[in-house]
């Protein structure tokens, strides 16, 4: 379910997005507050900020430092790591290429020119790719000016014009890609990306509130992310599609302990449990967590996993279904004997 999580996910910047800008390092001031920190601290970006900015975990950064000699952080008085801005920009580019399926050992051996050339090749438009995903179009202006009310009005107009299903599977899916690419290319700031995410959340929540109550015998679906996954926009998109097609959804939101998911599945009598994983979620951890959760759920409960994590492109534990797009939800429900009900506005 590429949008089940990610599409970024509420953090679109961590989706598996490849930029199309000729210069991936163009025009982005990185975390000025960190770079202008007190003289007693190393002049760089703290490791926690790098983790948020790139989607690479602290553990991954430390392992690469030992194994490959990159990145090479500065050290503060008590040994805290801080990363020069040029290294963070390189890490962003490496993360995009990792999401495209490249291995870290190969990428670390490439110089900057080779990395950029590889990114350009990966970012070349694919045949059949939606044209609306290549830019922000008319949505760019309200984002540039941080005009949330104007952006919400535009989104609501599109929702009313095309209906909820097209809004989720087409408009928001395309915009998620475009916003993520604009952020990666430095055309949008973190604050502007947050304006977009908050507006989409609000519009989708309002749309969900207008849907009719599901039938008494509607399939019950439990949605959540694991503790290491803070991104929730994909969950909300999945909830909208599931609700639109007659399901009774309970969303636990983000960062829920695995044991609590098991307990909630039992108490809600869920027939389907859905988890989302963005590209920043470690594939090995995702596979292990899915295997553990599968072993603790009854065999009659379906376990769905979606998002941009590389784990979902590999072989998943037995009894776990990868959902590659929210548009697949009606077919998957039908496969479980749940005919779709689209009596929504």
Q: Which has the closest alpha carbon to 306: 321, 295, 294?
A: 321
Cβ within 8 Å of residue 222, ≥6 positions away: 249, 250, 251, 252, 261, 264, 265, 268, 270, 272, 273, 274
Q: What is the pLDDT of residue 342?
A: 46
Q: What is the pLDDT of residue 124?
A: 54
For tokens 């959760």, the residue is: 293
CB burial of 138-153 (b: ≥16 within 10 Å; e: otherwise) equals ebbebbeeeebeebbe
CB 245 within 8 A of CB 296: no
Domains of the chain: 21-123 (1.10.1660.10), 131-209 (1.10.1240), 220-335 (3.40.50.280)
How does DSSP classify residue 131?
G
SS3 24: coil
Pairing of strands 45-46, 272-277: unpaired
As a whole number of Å, the end-to-end CA separation of the chain is 24
Q: What is the pLDDT of residue 211?
A: 92
Q: What is the pLDDT of residue 172?
A: 92
CA angle 236–276–197, rounded 5-degree value = 40
Q: Which has the closest alpha carbon to 223: 296, 289, 281, 273?
A: 273
d(CA 156, CA 173): 15
CB 297 within 8 A of CB 27: no
SS3 74: strand
Q: What is the pLDDT of residue 146?
A: 94
Q: What is the pLDDT of residue 28?
A: 41
d(CA 287, CA 284): 5
pLDDT in 10s for each residue of the chain, 345 residues: 544 444 344 444 343 333 333 343 333 444 344 334 434 445 678 898 888 878 888 889 999 999 999 999 999 888 889 998 889 889 988 988 887 778 888 899 998 888 888 877 765 544 333 333 346 889 999 999 999 999 999 999 999 999 999 999 989 988 988 888 887 777 888 889 899 999 999 999 999 999 999 999 999 999 999 998 888 998 999 999 999 999 999 999 999 999 999 999 999 999 999 999 887 788 888 999 999 999 999 999 999 998 877 777 888 899 999 888 888 888 888 877 665 554 444
The DSSP code sequence of 36-70 is T--TTS-SSEEHHHHHHHH---HHHHHHHHHHH--
């Amino acid at each position: 379910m590429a949008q089940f999580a990610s599409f970024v996910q509420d953090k679109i910047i961590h989706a598996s997005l490849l930029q199309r800008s000729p210069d991936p390092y163009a025009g982005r001031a990185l975390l000025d507050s960190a770079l202008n920190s007190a003289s007693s601290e190393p002049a760089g970006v703290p490791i926690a900020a790098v983790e948020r900015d790139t989607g690479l975990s602290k553990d991954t950064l430390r392992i690469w430092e030992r194994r490959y000699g990159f990145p090479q952080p500065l050290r503060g008085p008590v040994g805290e790591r801080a990363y020069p801005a040029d290294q963070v920009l390189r890490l962003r580019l490496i993360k995009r290429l990792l999401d495209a399926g490249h291995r870290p050992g190969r990428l670390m051996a490439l110089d900057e020119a080779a990395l950029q050339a590889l990114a350009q090749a990966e970012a070349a438009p694919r045949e059949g790719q939606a044209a609306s995903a290549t830019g922000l179009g008319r949505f760019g202006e309200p984002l540039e000016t941080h005009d949330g009310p104007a952006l919400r009005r535009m989104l609501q107009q599109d929702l009313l014009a095309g209906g909820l299903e097209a809004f989720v599977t087409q408009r928001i899916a395309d915009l998620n890609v475009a916003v993520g690419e604009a952020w990666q290319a430095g055309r949008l700031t973190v604050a502007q990306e947050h304006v977009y995410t908050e507006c989409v959340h609000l519009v989708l929540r309002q749309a969900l509130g207008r849907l009719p109550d599901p039938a008494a015998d509607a399939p019950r679906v439990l949605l959540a992310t694991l503790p290491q996954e803070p991104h929730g926009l994909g969950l909300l998109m999945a909830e909208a599609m599931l609700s639109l097609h007659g399901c009774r959804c309970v969303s636990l939101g983000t960062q829920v302990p695995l044991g609590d998911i098991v307990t909630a599945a039992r108490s809600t009598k869920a027939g389907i449990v859905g988890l989302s994983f963005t590209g920043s979620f470690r594939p090995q951890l995702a596979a292990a967590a899915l295997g553990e959760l599968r072993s603790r759920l009854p065999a009659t409960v379906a376990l769905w996993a979606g998002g941009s994590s590389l784990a979902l492109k590999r072989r998943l534990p037995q009894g776990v279904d990868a959902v590659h797009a929210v548009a697949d939800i009606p077919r998957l429900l039908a496969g479980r004997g749940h005919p779709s009900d689209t009596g929504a506005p």
